[in-house]
């Protein structure tokens, strides 16, 4: 099957698609010993000889890592601010893997890292409405009326959230904490924290325990 060169290069783990495009336009890529500089050119890794800087591309084996991301780690491959990244936690993996979706700096829990671009696209495409489950520890004890707001959809500055599945799991009245299980499929920035802020509750701890068919 023929695919765009930049996609083939990215799937082979050589570079990101954007970096691959720069390699192509710079004349660093050859197909069957001919330099290709036109973006959108298609080829087949199994039928054509594709080289980058003289090195022939080979199909990279698929790698799937389920990472229990700790707090204070950035869900990126590099961070200009010098903070610890998830890529540093899997630095012993030789294949070029990337995080699927994001977890906030202060959020912990399940994060998939892989070089399977097709799976990543399927899991993150909003049209597929892939569910993600979080354990949310908040300050205070919310009423069912408050939780119903989350179940129906809460208005944020960037729009109304889709209805969420919400279950009050535990109440610690001595510490004035509650633990709530929340299931959503959207991926708005800091969505869970902002949802609870919208109904008047501060999130003290946030942990993702399930993503699609994957369980922490």
Q: Using CA of residue 104, residue 107, residue 108, residue 112, what is the dihedral sign?
A: negative
Q: Which of 115, 94, 89 is nearest to 12 (CA)?
A: 115
Give the number of C-alpha atoms closer than 13 A to the C-alpha of residue 10, restricted to the C-beta side: 17
Indicate if 53 belongs to the active site. Answer: no
From 33, 48, 92, 104, the catalytic residue: 104
Q: Which residues are known to be catalytic? A: 104
């Amino acid at each position: 099957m023929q695919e765009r060169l930049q996609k083939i290069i990215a799937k082979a783990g050589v570079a990101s698609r954007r970096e691959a495009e720069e390699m192509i336009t710079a004349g660093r890529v050859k197909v069957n010993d001919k330099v290709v500089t036109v973006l959108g050119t298609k080829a087949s890794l199994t039928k054509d000889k594709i080289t980058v800087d003289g090195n022939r591309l080979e199909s990279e084996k698929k790698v799937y890592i389920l990472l229990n991301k700790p707090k204070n780690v950035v869900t990126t491959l590099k961070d200009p601010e010098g903070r610890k990244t998830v890529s540093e936690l899997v630095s012993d993996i030789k294949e070029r893997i990337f995080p699927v979706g994001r977890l906030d700096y202060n959020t912990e829990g399940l994060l998939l890292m892989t070089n399977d671009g097709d799976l990543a696209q399927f899991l993150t495409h909003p049209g597929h409405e892939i569910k993600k489950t979080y354990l949310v520890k908040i300050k205070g004890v919310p009423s069912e009326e408050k939780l119903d707001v989350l179940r129906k959809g809460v208005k944020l500055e960037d729009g109304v959230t889709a209805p969420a599945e919400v279950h009050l799991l535990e109440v610690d009245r001595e510490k004035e904490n509650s633990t709530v299980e929340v299931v959503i499929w959207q991926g708005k920035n800091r969505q869970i924290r902002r949802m609870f802020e919208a109904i008047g509750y501060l999130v003290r701890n946030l942990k993702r325990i399930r993503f699609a068919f994957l369980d922490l």
